[in-house]
Amino acid sequence: MKLSTAQHRQFDRDGYLFFPGLFSADETRTLTEAVPELYSRREAYNVREKGSDAVRTNFAAHMYSEPFAKLARHPRMVEPVADLLGEELYMHQFKINGKMAFEGDVWQWHQDYGTWRNDDQMPTERAMNVAIFLDDVNEYNGPLMFIPGSHKRGVIDAKHDLTTTSYPLWTVDNELIRQLVDRAGGKNGGIVAPKGPAGSMILFHSCLVHASGSNLSPFNRVAVYLSLCAVSNHIRRHKRPEYIAHRDFTPIPCLPDDCLLRDYPVELPWKDGLPASALQTTSDDQRIAA
């Protein structure tokens, strides 16, 4: 899937592109149906909400679940990102975020590149986020919110919030959010929240400031977040375990466009459980060479 010149321009201006209904209901179902069993596993890769058993985020399903391994190699997802970054890509992070009915907690305002730089020593922001909705997203179930154009600010100072939710995040303070929203149009477009059916996809810049509210509705809002990084921009530090920040910098080979609906062999290296190496971290004085 090649992007048009107008889409390139729009991405440069707004920092995101929205593709409503990009994957069909049949394709999306192959993914959604696999989620309850993955979430039921008592494994380190399932992070639960604070004070609740609901899964907030599941990491690295593409390493042990066939439908998600196929999604991680899907040309409709990989090709536009490669087009925008102009380079081959590897998978830096793979999450299935729950935001479950009544239970899903907030994601504070942040830039993803803040975490990738501070924790993983990713050299530049040449990496991209892709969100794929596995449920319909509406105004009630905690849609992702963006401040359009905020990626132009580059990397913003952030503080490491270890207490608000069950997941540590480098977050942006409220005064700066107020200014960024004002500059983006205030009440008239200063915040956007793309909504649409399951199967919709959003591409967004790793410096785009984003957040989401809690889900007080009876509707789940499960979504896959894939973070693709230009191969030359691979991370330089392994402070976080491999199931969170991947260490295989091999370019992603794409499968055919119909891969979600057909049998294509995919490797599932962690299908029998997480290897000990996936839990290991290195300290600052053991940085990998660039």
Question: 132 vs 259, which CB is nearer to ligand SIN?
Answer: 132
CB of 33 to Mn ion, least distance (A): 26
44-52, 72-80, 111-119, 160-168 -> range binding Mn ion (CB under 5 A): 111-119
Smallest Cα–Cα separation from 49: which of 208, 173, 197, 164?
A: 164
Radius of gyration of the chain (CA): 18
Q: What does the alpha-carbon distance between residue 98 and residue 94 come to, in Å, rounded to a whole number? A: 13
Contact 47, 59 (CB under 8 A): yes
Shortest CB 220 distance to ligand SIN, Å: 12
144 binds, among Mn ion, ligand SIN, none (CB under 5 to 8 A by kind): ligand SIN
d(CA 166, CA 179): 28
Shortest CB 101 distance to ligand SIN, Å: 14
Ranked by CB distance to Mn ion, the top (closest) residue is 112
Tell me which residues touch ligand SIN (CB under 6 A): 97, 99, 107, 144, 210, 212, 223, 225
97 binds, among Mn ion, ligand SIN, none (CB under 5 to 8 A by kind): ligand SIN
Q: Quick one: which of 218, 202, 226 has its CA closest to 100?
A: 218
The span of 14-22, 110-118, 152-160, 230-238 binding Mn ion (CB under 5 A) equals 110-118
- What minimum distance in Å lies between the beta carbon of 124 and Mn ion? 18
Binder of residue 225, out of Mn ion, ligand SIN, none (CB less than 5 to 8 A by kind): ligand SIN
Which secondary-structure segment (H or E) carries 129?
Answer: strand 127-133
Told to check if 120 binds Mn ion by CB under 5 A, we report: no
Q: How far apart are CA 173 and CA 139, in angstroms?
A: 24
Stretch that binds Mn ion, among 52-60, 105-113, 141-149, 199-207 (CB under 5 A): 105-113
Q: Hey, CA dihedral for 116, 126, 13, 22, is it positive or negative?
A: negative
Of the candidates 31, 91, 98, which has an alpha carbon nearest to the alpha carbon of residue 60? Answer: 91
Question: Could you tell which of ligand SIN, Mn ion, none binds residue 65, using a CB distance below 5 to 8 A set by kind?
Answer: none
What does 125 interact with, of Mn ion, ligand SIN, none (CB < 5 to 8 A by kind)? none
Structure tokens at 195: 């909504």
The answer to whether residue 112 forms part of the interface with Mn ion (CB under 5 A) is yes
31 binds, among Mn ion, ligand SIN, none (CB under 5 to 8 A by kind): none
Q: How far is the CB of 93 from ligand SIN (least distance, A)?
A: 9
CB-CB contact of 112 with 15 (8 Å): no
In angstroms, the CA 70 to CA 61 distance is 10
Binds 99: which of Mn ion, ligand SIN, none (CB < 5-8 Å by kind):
ligand SIN
- Closest among 95, 87, 86 to 39, alpha carbons compared: 95
What number of chain residues touch Mn ion (CB under 5 A)?
1
DSSP letter string over 146-169? E-TTGGGG-S---EEE-SSSSS-E
Residues 199-238, mask of contacts with Mn ion (x by CB under 5 A): ----------------------------------------
Toward ligand SIN, which CB reaches closer, 90 or 170?
A: 170
Distance of alpha carbon 276 from alpha carbon 109, whole angstroms: 33
- Which residues here bind Mn ion, judged by CB under 5 A? 112
